[in-house]
């Protein structure tokens, strides 16, 4: 068994309006960043876990992301790094 | 009829719901603790408003894994009546008893005010005492009531007449100006296919006494205990 840290990103599915992103974009425009076309928000999770292989660690994290970290109706997730 | 009001850590409309049942005298009422696995013989379950688990992660996302929710899901699958109000609606979406999801309000504000609701379907177990054409007045108080469903799901809700409430004006007209949170098609409440699980963002339990500014919430609780009209 070894300890792994799996980093996972949760973001809105394409086509789902992101009110936070829209508000931030608007604020950026007011700050003079008139070339910003879109801002999307998301969430990052660092999950530390014990596992025998890195593959199993990732598999577990994908499972728990599907179950809890993301709402599959409006969000997608992706494992972005591991160590 | 015996109503059970679930208390999650962070619920804050549990007492309002309890009080509404007492005020309307529609039945007995008891509290159900989130850590319990028994519904204590209740015939109607109320998932109240509030901020269960601090709204951490997403509103309702953690409450759905409470021990009591397993019992609530079993109960609902067997046809038991469940009403989720505000945070309770969010929990019902997260647990999959209702379809769709909530996003943060358009405009990012926590909106707390009275709204009018058009009852789009007053043949449900929860709305059958609502008078035809009457716009119900009751408060909303939420930051995540921006209802979303994909096209296919929305079509299903339409086809099965499952959109129960829409935000409207005093006269019952539905327009974007009366949409307080950006919800798709002004949707304020929906029901499951079987008709025994209702979710609504507005608070009928806060509108059951004249001193609170409206008694229209009574229609919901009185519908639940009314004789079935087919």
ipTM: 0.84
Kindly report, residue by residue over A34-74, the tens digit of the pLDDT. Answer: 999 999 999 999 999 999 999 999 999 999 999 999 999 99
Question: How far is residue A68's CA from residue A81's CA, in Å, rounded to a whole number?
Answer: 19
Residue B203 among the catalytic residues: yes
| Partner residue facing B103 (CB), from A17, A68, A69 | A17
- Bridge partners, B209 (sequence order): B214
Q: In chain A, where do the E strands start and end? A: 2-12, 42-51, 75-82
Question: How far is residue B39's CA from residue B109's CA, in Å, rounded to a whole number?
Answer: 35
Taking contacts as CB-CB distances below 8 angstroms, the residues of chain B near A69 are 57
Domains contained in chain B, CATH given: 2-225 (3.40.50.880)
Taking contacts as CB-CB distances below 8 angstroms, the residues of chain A near B103 are 16-19, 74
Instruction: Kindly give the interhelix angle for B67-77 and B87-95, rounded to the nearest 10 degrees.
Output: 80
Taking contacts as CB-CB distances below 8 angstroms, the residues of chain A near B99 are 73
In angstroms, what is the C-alpha Rg of chain A? 16
Annotated domain spans of chain A: 2-82
> Which is nearest to B47 in space by CA: B71, B22, B24, B27?
B71
H/E element, B178: none
pLDDT above 50 for B149: yes
> Which is nearest to B66 in space by CA: B91, B99, B86?
B91
pLDDT at res. B230: 44
Q: Are A20 and B104 an interchain contact pair (Cβ–Cβ within 8 Å)?
A: yes
Kindly report, residue by residue over B173-222, the tens digit of the pLDDT. Answer: 999 999 999 999 999 999 999 999 999 999 999 999 999 999 999 999 99
In angstroms, what is the C-alpha Rg of chain B? 16
Residues 99-118 of B with CB under 8 A from A: 99-101, 103-108
Residue B205 among the catalytic residues: yes
To the nearest whole Å, the CA of B13 is away from the closest chain A CA by 25
Length of chain B: 230
Going by the DSSP 8-state scheme, the letter that residue A32 receives in this structure is: T
Say which CATH class A2-82 falls into: alpha beta
- With H, G, I as helix, E, B as strand and everything else as coil, classify residue B192: coil
């Amino acid at each position: 068994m070894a300890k792994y840290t799996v980093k996972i990103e949760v973001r809105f599915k394409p086509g789902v309006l992101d009110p936070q992103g829209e508000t931030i974009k608007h604020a950026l425009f007011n700050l003079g960043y008139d070339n910003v076309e879109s801002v999307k928000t998301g969430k990052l999770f660092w999950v530390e876990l014990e596992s025998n292989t890195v593959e199993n660690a990732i598999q577990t994290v994908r499972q728990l992301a599907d179950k809890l970290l993301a709402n599959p109706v409006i969000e997608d997730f992706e494992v972005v790094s591991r160590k | 009829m015996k109503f059970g009001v679930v208390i999650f850590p962070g619920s804050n409309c549990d007492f309002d719901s309890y009080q509404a049942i007492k005020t309307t005298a529609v039945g007995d009422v008891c509290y159900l603790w989130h850590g319990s696995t028994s519904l204590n013989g209740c015939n109607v379950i109320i998932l109240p408003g509030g901020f269960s688990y601090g709204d951490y992660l997403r509103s309702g996302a953690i409450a759905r894994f409470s021990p009591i929710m397993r019992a609530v899901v079993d109960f609902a699958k067997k046809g038991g009546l469940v009403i989720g109000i505000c945070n309770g609606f969010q929990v019902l979406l997260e647990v999959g008893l209702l379809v769709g999801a909530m996003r943060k309000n358009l405009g990012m504000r926590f909106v707390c005010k009275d709204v009018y609701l058009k009852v789009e379907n007053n043949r449900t177990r929860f709305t059958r005492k609502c008078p035809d054409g009457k716009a119900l007045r009751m408060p909303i108080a939420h930051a995540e009531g921006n209802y979303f469903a994909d096209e296919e799901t929305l079509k299903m809700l339409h086809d099965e007449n499952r959109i129960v409430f829409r935000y409207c004006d005093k006269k019952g007209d539905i327009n974007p100006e009366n949409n307080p949170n950006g919800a798709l098609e002004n949707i304020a409440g929906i029901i499951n296919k079987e008709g025994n699980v209702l979710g609504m963002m507005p608070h009928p339990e806060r509108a059951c006494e004249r001193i609170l500014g409206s008694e229209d919430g009574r229609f919901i609780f009185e519908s639940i205990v009314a004789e079935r009209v087919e």
